[in-house]
Every structure is written in structure tokens, then in C-alpha cells.
């Protein structure tokens, strides 16, 4: 089998007496959607932070695209192709959807830490190639016809799609998604799930999501995190059938 795009080896992280990540081993294979699920406070967001470089693990190793990135910062990992879906705050409401994606592409090229994106924005705004790349990313998320709309005027679900386009324009080798459906209504959530289904197979994803419908629709494999430790990693059917998982996490949803 091909080498995994991401491999976590015995990652550990504590805050005082609280072991938030306990001996976590996990790999994401090329092309797969790997879902990370677990109860509130299980340590999912912390683990995503450790992968992205925002949270420093106490022990263990992170290998991304064949490189040990354990000691690299967020920007260096992003340049290697670790894509994290932008938080809402990074969307500029007064800029069009196209301009927001162009700015994300520029930030990736110039290194956001150095303020490069802003320095280059004035000439870049007229850059046809950059605009074309942004439009292609918008088309991938179904916003092709909304390129000129100010981001602030987009519906909530469209904004989540825009954030996805902002990550995609950076041509990530792995996409980290922490609750992409959060705050969306049922119809919007279903559209976003369809959108991710359409992207499935074009790039590997590590997806944190509470909506089990979305998780089971998308995931090739699922890792269940309970109390910071991996309870099980397996195919969706195996995870669904696991007694401990049903008790600790899936029980309520399954009973509905």
C-alpha cells in the first residue's frame, strides 16, 4: 500500500493534569476521507491543532508527505501542503468571493506571517492568472456564479463553501476540516456534504464532524477519540458495530 500522506506516532499532549491527547497513532492514506469523531471535549480540535502546528505536542511524531514536521510551525506546514479550512473571521465581508480566494492564494505564496499578502495585493488585484485560479476554486465548491458577490452578502452555507475554496486554491496535499457543517441548517448541511462528496477522491481529508449522517456518508475510515485516546480506527461498518463506541458516542443518535 502507498505510504500515508499523514502519520501520527504516539502523540501526547497534556494541559496540567488533563491528558488531552494520549498516545495517539493514526494515519491518513492518499485519497481517503478519514473522519475523526468523539464526544465533546475528546480532544479532536486539539489534535487538529497539533497536526496543523498550532499546538505543540509533549511527545510523539508527526510525519506529513514523507517529512517529519513535528517541529515545524503553522506557516511552514501550510507551505508543505497542509491545508486547514479558514475560520469565518478570515473572510473579508467587503471583498468579493473571488477577491477573498485571490487573497488566500496570495497569502499562501507570500507567507501570511510576513504580511506579504497585503503588500502584494494592489498589483495582484489585476492579475488575470490569480483571478482565474480563484474562479476555478470557486467553481469546485459550486460558487462559480457567485464570484462577484461580496463575501458579506453570501448565505451562511455559501460562506462555508467560500472558506473551502480559500483552502483549495492553495492546492493542499491534505485538507483538515474541523466541523465544516457547524452552524448550518439541515438543507445547507446537506449541500455541504454533497460538496465534500464531490471533492472526495480528489484530495485526502481529515474531517472532524459531529453529524453522523455526514460522517457515514463521506468517510472511508473513522477514528473514534474518547478521552484523548483512540478507541478504534476502522471502516464505517466496523465502527458502527463497536460496542464501546455505541455506548460512549453513537448511542443517542442510533436510538433516534
Ligand X SMILES: Nc1ncnc2c1ncn2[C@@H]1O[C@H](COP(=O)(O)OP(=O)(O)OP(=O)(O)O)[C@@H](O)[C@H]1O
Name the residue nearer to ligand X (CB basis): 14 or 109: 14
| Position of minimal CB gap to Mg ion | 45
CB 196 → Mg ion: shortest distance, Å? 18
Only segment of 25-33, 39-47, 56-64, 167-175 that touches ligand X (CB under 6 A): 39-47
Which residue among 3, 10, 41, 197 contacts ligand X (CB under 6 A)?
A: 41
- Report what 43 binds from ligand X, Mg ion, none; CB cut-off 5-8 Å by kind: ligand X
> Distance (Å, rounded) from C-alpha 8 to C-alpha 61?
6
Nearest to 17 by CA among 256, 244, 228: 228
When CB distances are held under 5 to 8 angstroms depending on the partner's kind, the choice from Mg ion, ligand X, none that residue 138 binds is none
Tell me which of 6, 8, 26, 44 binds ligand X, using CB under 6 A: 44
Q: Which of 33, 35, 37, 46 binds ligand X (CB under 6 A)?
A: 46
The correct pick among 5, 33, 42, 177 for binding ligand X (CB under 6 A) is: 42
Of residues 4-23, those binding ligand X (CB under 6 A): 15, 18, 20
Q: How far is the CB of 108 from ligand X (least distance, A)?
A: 26
| 45 forms part of the interface with Mg ion (CB under 5 A) | yes
State the binding partner of 172 from Mg ion, ligand X, none, CB within 5 to 8 A by kind. Answer: none
Q: Which residue number, 165 or 231, has a Cβ lying nearer to ligand X?
A: 231
Residues that bind ligand X (CB under 6 A): 15, 18, 20, 38, 40-46
Amino acid at each position: 500500500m502507498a505510504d500515508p500522506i499523514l502519520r501520527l506516532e504516539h502523540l501526547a499532549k497534556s494541559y496540567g493534569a488533563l491528558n488531552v491527547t494520549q498516545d495517539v497513532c493514526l494515519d491518513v492514506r492518499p485519497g481517503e476521507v478519514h473522519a475523526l469523531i468523539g464526544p465533546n471535549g475528546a480532544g479532536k480540535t486539539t489534535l487538529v491543532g497539533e497536526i496543523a502546528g498550532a499546538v505543540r505536542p509533549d511527545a510523539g511524531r508527526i510525519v506529513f508527505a514523507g517529512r517529519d514536521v513535528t517541529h515545524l510551525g503553522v506557516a511552514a506546514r501550510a507551505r508543505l501542503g497542509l491545508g486547514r479550512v479558514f475560520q469565518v473571521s478570515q473572510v473579508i465581508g467587503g471583498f468579493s468571493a473571488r477577491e477573498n480566494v485571490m487573497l488566500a492564494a496570495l497569502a499562501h505564496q507570500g507567507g501570511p506571517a510576513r504580511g506579504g499578502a497585503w503588500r502584494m495585493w494592489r498589483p495582484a488585484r489585476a492579475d488575470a492568472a490569480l483571478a482565474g485560479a480563484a474562479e476555478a476554486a470557486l467553481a469546485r465548491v459550486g460558487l462559480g456564479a457567485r464570484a462577484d458577490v461580496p463575501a458579506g452578502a453570501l448565505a451562511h452555507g455559501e460562506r462555508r463553501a467560500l472558506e473551502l475554496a480559500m483552502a483549495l486554491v492553495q492546492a493542499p496535499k491534505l485538507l483538515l476540516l474541523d466541523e465544516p457543517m457547524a452552524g448550518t441548517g439541515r438543507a445547507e448541511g446537506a449541500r455541504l456534504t454533497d460538496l465534500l462528496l464531490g471533492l472526495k477522491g480528489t484530495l485526502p481529508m481529515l474531517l472532524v464532524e459531529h453529524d453522523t449522517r455526514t460522517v457515514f456518508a463521506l468517510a472511508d475510515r473513522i477514528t473514534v477519540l474518547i478521552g484523548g485516546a483512540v478507541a478504534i480506527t476502522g471502516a464505517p461498518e466496523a465502527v458502527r458495530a463497536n460496542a464501546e463506541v455505541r455506548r460512549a458516542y453513537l448511542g443517542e443518535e442510533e436510538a433516534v
